[in-house]
Amino acid sequence: MPLNSIPSIPLFLELAGFITKKKAPDKREGILLEGFLYDGLFYRRLNRHYLRLCRVTSELDRLDLSKVAPYSLQAFSLEDFVFSNIDFSRYREIAEKDFGLFQPEALADFSEEFFRKNFGFCRVEVQSIIEGSYKKTQGQFINEGKYKMIRENPLILSIMRTLETSLDNLPLFTFEEMQEEVAKLPDHTIKRTIIPDVDTLYRHLVSSLDNVTVTHEDGMVTKLFVSREGELTGTFRPGNKPWTRVLIPN
């Protein structure tokens, strides 16, 4: 099949690499990694989950909980204490390499209900608010630019803070996504022969990720495993502290 006629099936191709144990180049170091396609859609979703955990861990590490007790006597809740320690100034200027958590693809990590519940806007409206609140300045080299906030207000600060730290994300991939990608395969005869049941394919792809390890750019390793309940779970190590999260529920 000519390259220009290959259908857009990024998840299927990337996950198929895990099953067939093909080797793909690591874009960071130019080395080969077995069974893992760096910078694919699946990896980017997993990595964003890790980056949010890093941010949450960093925030927790900064808190001095010994100061909570005096505040509590004055009906000052733990939530208020945490909020009072947030450094919102970090959102005034963000390096281009760190702005990925606020790009359209990252917004798709969350459901429409998430956006309505937290901001009262849909995903597209939140994207428009972000794009209208920042101006990008070019750096000398690629990815060395910066996004500078044009107008600071409580709404944009709340949006940026929530998107950077929320762990209420959608599954890493869904049955519906795989169904859509399989439907794009051109030869229906081949699809019926090789992929007779999308549900079986989906479950096989999830199970194939059992015991897969992924190394992030900071060198920390995330281990994926399938629980007894059939859920894809990941143990992340932000700040070298283990966090175990369900990534694809059963």
**pLDDT for the residue 67:** 59
Predicted local distance difference test score (pLDDT) of residue 142: 73
122: CB partners within 8 A, 6+ apart = 112, 115, 116
Given a contact cutoff of 8 angstroms between Cβ atoms, the answer to whether 201 and 191 are in contact is no
pLDDT at residue 149, rounded to an integer: 97
With beta carbons less than 8 A apart as the criterion, state whether 128 and 14 touch.
no
Say what the pLDDT of residue 66 is. 62
CB atoms within 10 A of CB 101: 18
pLDDT at 38: 54
What does the pLDDT read at residue 224? 93
Q: Domains of the chain: which residue ranges? A: 3-43+171-248, 65-165
**Where would I find the H helices in the chain?**
10-20, 41-62, 68-73, 78-84, 104-107, 112-119, 123-133, 154-165, 175-183, 188-194, 198-208
Which of the residues in the chain have pLDDT under 70? 1-7, 18-39, 64-85, 187-196
pLDDT value of position 70: 55
CA distance linking residue 45 with residue 142, whole number of Å = 22
